[in-house]
Amino acid sequence: MIVKSKIGMGESLSLVSAVSYALSNVVQAWTMAEAPLYVGVALKSLPIWIIATIIYIKGKHGENTEFKREKISLNAFLFLILLGIFFHVLGNATLISALKYGGVIISTPIMGTQAIWISILAYFFLREIINIPMIIGMVISVLGTVVLTLGKSSSNIYIENLNLSIILSLITAVSFAIGGLIQRYLLTREKLSEWTVMFYSLTSAQLILFVLVILNGNMNFYFTVGLLTFLKLMLTGIFCAVAIIALTKAMVFTQAAIVTTIGSLQTAIAPLLAAIFLKEEINGLMIFGILLIMAGVYIVQRKRAV
C-alpha cells in the first residue's frame, strides 16, 4: 500500500507540474505585449526566487544541516551563474519572444524537444549513452516539428514571423537543455541541494536582468505598471513556481523517467488550452505533428540510459 501511495503521489505531482507549465505559457502569451521583455522575464522568475531565497536562508540559519555543510567551489559557483544565464535569462527571454511571434500552439511543442537536446549534450559532456531507440525518438520528434510547421503554414492564418518563432523556440529548447545539463552536474557531481542551486542561479539571473532592465531604460515600468497587468505577470510566475516545486517533489516519490515523461504532457496541454482560451487555430496536421513530437520525446525519455 505504501509503494502504491508513493507512486501515485509522484505521478500526481508530475501532472500538476505539466499543467502548471502549460498554464504559465498560456498566461504568458496572454500578457506578453503588456511589459518590456526583460521586465517580463524578471517578474516571471520573481515568485520562485522569493520561495527559494526563504527556504535557503531558513535552512542556513536553522537546524537543517543539509544546507550548512554545503561548500560551493569556484567551479560550482561559475556553473550556478551559467545556469542562471541559460535557464532563467536566455531561455525565458527567447520563450517569451517565441510565444509573441508564433503563439502557444507552435512554440510549446518545439520547446518540448529540450529532452532530446539534453540527451545529446549529456552524451558529449557527461558521457551518457545514446542508444538506437533514443535516436529513433529524436528523428520522430524532428519529423513532428516539420509536420507541425507545415500544418501551420497550410492554415488560414498567416504568421509573418513563423520561421523566426520556430528558431526562437529551438533556441529556448537548447537553452533549457543546457540549463538542465548544468543543473544535473551541480546536483550529481557537486552534490548541491535543489534549493541551493535554485537560490544561487535565480539570484544571479535577477541581478543580470536588473542590469538589462536599466540598460534598456525600462525601470520606469515598475512604477507605472497597472495593477491588472502586474497581477497577470505575477500569475505567470506563480504557475511556473508551482511547476518547478511539483517537479522537484515528484522526484522524491517516483523515478525520474516517469516524472519527465508525464511532465512532457505540457506539450499537448498548452496547445489545447491556447485553442480554448486564446482562440489559436489548430488543424489535424498540426495535431499530428504535436503527437509525433510527444511520441519522440517519450521514447527518448523512457530509453535514456541512467
Query: pLDDT tens digit string along 265-298?
Result: 888 888 889 989 888 888 888 899 889 988 888 8
Q: In the predicted model, is pLDDT for residue 82 greater than 90?
A: yes
Q: In the predicted model, is pLDDT for residue 250 greater than 50?
A: yes
Q: In the predicted model, is pLDDT for residue 254 greater than 90?
A: no
Centroid of chain to Cα 196: 19
Using DSSP's 3-state secondary structure scheme, residue 154 falls into coil
- Range among 87-96, 116-125, 250-259 with highest mean pLDDT value: 87-96
pLDDT (0 to 100) of residue 1: 36
Read off the pLDDT of each residue in 101-110 and give the average, rounded to a whole number: 87
Question: Which amino acid, one-letter code, is at 152?
Answer: K
Cell of 121: 549534450
At residue 304 the predicted structure's pLDDT band, cuts being 50, 70 and 90, is low
d(CA 15, CA 20): 8
At residue 6 the predicted structure's pLDDT band, cuts being 50, 70 and 90, is very low
Cα→Cα distances 262→10, 18, 121, 239, 251, Å: 10, 7, 22, 17, 12
pLDDT (0 to 100) of residue 236: 92
Q: What is the pTM of this model?
A: 0.84
Burial-class residue 23 by CB neighbours within 10 Å (0-12, 13-18, 19+): buried
> How many helices, marked H, and strands, marked E, lie in the chain?
14, 0
At residue 306 the predicted structure's pLDDT band, cuts being 50, 70 and 90, is very low
Tell me the angle at which helices 92-111 and 132-153 cross, rounded to the nearest 10 degrees. Answer: 100
d(CA 202, CA 80): 9
In the chain, DSSP assigns E strands to: none
Asked if 30 and 278 touch (Cβ cutoff 8 Å), the reply is: yes
Q: In the predicted model, is pLDDT for residue 32 greater than 80?
A: no
Residues 185-196 pLDDT 10s: 898 889 898 889
